Structures are given as C-alpha cells and as structure tokens.
Amino acid sequence: MYGFYSPNELKPQGWLLKQLKIQAEGLSGNLDKVWRDVRDSGWIGGDAESWERLPYWLDGFIPLAYLLDDEEMISRAKKYISYIVSHQRSDGWICPCDDEKIPSYDTWVIFLITKVLIVYYECSRDESIVKVIYDILKNYYDLLSSEKIKLFSWGKARWFECFIALDFISERFSEPWINGLAKILKEQGTDYSDLVEKWKRPLNRWAFETHIVNMAMMLKSEAVSYKLLNEEYTDKADYFYNILYKYNGTPVGILTGDECLSGLSPIQGTELCSVVDMMYSFELLYAATGDPKWAERLELLAFNALPATLSDDMWTHQYDQMSNQIACIRFPGRSLFRTNRSDAHIFGLEPNYGCCTANMHQGWPKFTLSAFIKNGDTITNVLPVPSTLRDKGIYIDLDTDYPFNNVFRYTVNTEKDFELKIRIPSFAENITLNGDIIEKPSELSIAFKSGESRVVCLSYSAVPYFVNRPHGLKTVRCGSLVFSLPIKYEKKMYEYVENNIERKYPYCDYEYIPQSDWNYGFAGGILKLIRNEISDIPFSSENPPLTVKAKMAKIDWGLEDGFETVCAKVPINDEAVGDDEEISLYPYGCAKLRMTEMPFVKK
C-alpha cells in the first residue's frame, strides 16, 4: 500500500501549475461567491441545499488552495470547516438534518463529508479533525447497528465510499466497532457482481445500478474495503472496467453515461462527475496495487476527458461531453441523451443538474497529488508531470512538459538513502537514460545515497497511430493523448436567472455554434506530430501545445434522425466526395467541438 503526499510536500510546476491557477481564478476558486447552493448551504447555516454540494466543492477547493499556497483561499477553507466541525453534535452526528428526519436522510453524504475532512487534515495537519471523524463514524455505527437507520438510495449504491474514512480511522484506532461498521456496510450495500449483465445493453431508463457516477466510484470498492473486511484482493476492478468499457467505452478511456450507461455510440454523452470520480478511483487503485495499468488509464482521463468538458477559463463546464460533438446547442425538441435534458452538453454554470458544478473541482488537484507516492524508503513517480517534492530531507524537482513532450529532467538532492522508481508507460519507445539507450522496463529503479546530488535525464518517443473503434470507425492516439478534428465555433452567451440561480458573465451559459465543416474521414497516409509552445492555457482551444497532421477527405456523413445539430452515429456513406486535404488534428482536450471517431474513406 502506497501513501500520498500532502500539498505541503508536493507542488505543481510548469504547465500543471498554470492549469491549477486557471482553476483557482475560475469557478473552483469562486463558487462560494456566485452559486447559492454553496454560498447559502445548509452546512454553514444557510437555507439552500443541505446535502452533497458544499462537501463536493470543498473536496476539490481545499487541496487546490493548499497546492497554490493561496492564503485567502486557505482562510475560506478553514472558515467553512470550522463552522461544520463546531456544529457537530455531542453524539457525533454532523450533517445539517433534524433528528426526526435522520431516518429518511440519505447518509451517502456522511461518506463524502468524512472524505473532505480527511483531505482537510492532510492539508492542514489539524489533529483535532481525527476525533471529529472518529465521532462521526462511531455515531454512524451506533445508528446502523441499532437499526435506527439503514442504507438506501445513494448510500446503498456507494457504501464503499465510507471505507476511505474507515481505513483512516483503523490506522489510528483498533476497536471492534470499526470492523463491525465495515461488515454492516458490505451487507447492506449494493453487490455490483450481480449487476454485470445490466451494463451490456443500455436502456433509456434511470437506475442506480447503471448510473455512470456509481460505476466510476464502484471501481475502487474492493481496493478500499478488502483489508477491513478480511478478504483477499482479486482485482475485481479490472474485471468490472473491462466489461464496462467493452460495452460503453469511449476513445478517451471513460464510459458513456448520460446519465446512465449509454453504449458505444460516439454521439452519446459522458457526465463530468464520472470523469473526476473515475480519476479518483484510479488514483486509489494504483496506490493500493502499484499496477501501472491504473496510472495509464488515469492519464487518459486527465489529459483528454477532463479538459475537454471544461472551458479554457474554467468558468463553465458541460454536464455531458460527446466523442463526436459538432455543436453544443440546446435541442429544440426531445433530448438526444438517454436520461439527461436537452441542455446537458452546453457550457455553463449548471447545465442539466448542479452535481457536476459542485463536484468537478477535485479532478486536477487530486491528480497533482498523485504524481509521486511513497512506500517506506521508496518513492515512485507515478505521473511524470512537472512537479517538486520535498520529503524530510529528500528533494526532487521534475522538469518536463509531459504529456506534450517526453523529455524529463530529475534534479535530486538527498540527506538520506532512498530508492526512486519511475513508471515507464507501455507506449514508450527508444528510451534513453542519461544519454544511453536502454531496454524498455515497466519501471526504472534508481538508488540514491545520503548526501548525494544528481541529475537524471530520461526521454522516450511516442508516435501517433490509428486505433480501431466500434462501427468501423477509427481514432488517432499518440501516447496518452487522443486527437480530434477540431471544429471552429462561435459562442452565444445567455445571462438569466432561474430558480434563484443567477447566470452572469463569466459564469453564464454558452452555446457553441459550429463555423467549419466536420464531415470528414481519414484518407490514409502518415500521421505527423507537430510540437508547439505551451501557452498560458495548457489545453488551449486556440493554441494547442501539439497537433497531428493527417490526410483527410470529406464524405457524406449526414445528421442523426430528428436532429439538426448532431451528426449521425455512423456516416451515411464513407466514399470521398472531395479531394484529399492535410488537416491538423487537435488534442481531444483542446477541441471543444470535434470529430474523434471517423472512418477511412473509400476512393
């Protein structure tokens, strides 16, 4: 089991620091100023939503504040946590809910608020938080064991989320009730092994057992629970992921789910909450197992699915992103999505539903804190992104532009012996270490002695290639980046008030209206990678850090039946209707309107 570093020990640099600063200057750093459900939350004495939204936001806002050493943001985080903790009851109950309503109060949020308190503890090192978490869980055990409450709805579907806090407490206390609570949660919670067949044939019906965010969270269930349950680890997550991906996978490693599992069509959506929660599952899965497949899957989400569904300034987001997304315009009639509204794919403050408005903030901060992890005297560089580590006499600076370039410079100064392990991705070729070509390992191990100062230079290459997709379509990938045909667009802004929620620039709603052709297929030939400078916006929709030149030709693609702003699931005809053109493909995360899955054209 690996351990994570705190924001006091691990800091972002380079493009990653730019990304986090954009996030802090956007909605993540200002949501409590502009959005009633956080600003006036019942958690802090207000009359707005009293369940998941403030905790969701704090789960990302707190580590963001500490990673950036932003004193004003840290002060706000402390203020909110102080209020919540000071209103904890003597019996341990902490949620803003009257006694008579507790039996009908969905206690999934207990799992969420304890996770937030752990994040705050790891950032602030406020030892009083340990007792707060202990008292919450002990009270929860008392309520469940006495049958005053039971798991239902979201709590039943997400029972394993409580184990993040249970594992935290079990490391500090050895008391029978901890294992007792673990057993009750497992007994009352959903057994996903019984639901596999439901994932293979998506239906236009909302259900907990196919809800995309439940799927994303569920993947870590065995990893976080097996020890307290005294079970053997079987890598059930890989079994579940492979089935889910086979029947619902997208080119960027996420699943379709708008809002429940939606199959393999490139015009079905993926809810933003599922992106950040699947990233978190992969982070915990790697920490529990050290298996590199989870790190590779994590990179695919972080470098593609996450930035794609956020505006460049991170003031707005989509609820649903699509692989082939030719327009982000409200559907005038029925929704294309299985269980989401017609506005779910526009960019805005709260398109479709506010859970993603509250939950999206954990993505980049927790990804940053997964760059290096520790196990005894071994430090592993899991995600080779620009960062700096300070660990009790060990100093590591990683200078790199990865994933936009595969050159890495590690400057190491140490006051004690340790081993540095560097994960090498499966796609890496022509690997050089300090100028020498080496055989391809899955992991490099380099020993350092106390008092040593050394620079380690690593590089490898990755070339763009075609990947097969369902329905005879292809997509382009290079390393951990997926590439799309970008579609030029203009924005149409909407400022209004609805249900006491104000949309006002820059946190208003936008439709993205296409201004260039999108009906293309691949015309063969060599894919050529072009590297550019990284701008102040790393995943810029106007100045991408790299592109892939591809030979393409127009085809008669057609529109989905009944829709004017959605391409057909598959083209009407894949024969070329024009000459070959050389077109620059953008990283998927940069192309807000895009075609990602396209056929080879017939001449």
Q: What is the 3-state secondary structure (H, E, C) of 268-326?
A: CEEEHHHHHHHHHHHHHHHHHHCCHHHHHHHHHHHHHHHHHCECCCCCCECCEEECCEC
- pLDDT score at 257: 98
- Structural contact between residues 117 and 81, judged by C-beta atoms closer than 8 angstroms: yes
- pLDDT score at 209: 97
Measured distance CA(489)–CA(330) in Å, rounded: 15
- Tokens 């993603």, residue located: 356
- pLDDT score at 524: 87
- pLDDT score at 504: 96
Q: What DSSP character marks residue 164? A: H
Q: Which CATH class is domain 373-400+407-461?
A: mainly beta
State the pTM of this model. Answer: 0.98
For the chain, the C-alpha Rg in angstroms (whole number) is 24
- pLDDT score at 1: 67
Looking at residue 188, its amino acid is Q
- pLDDT score at 603: 79
Looking at residue 526, its amino acid is I
- pLDDT score at 441: 85
- Residue intervals in the chain for CATH 2.60.40: 373-400+407-461
- pLDDT score at 483: 98
The SS3 of residue 140 is helix
Q: What DSSP character marks residue 127? A: T
Which residues in the chain come in under a pLDDT of 70? 1
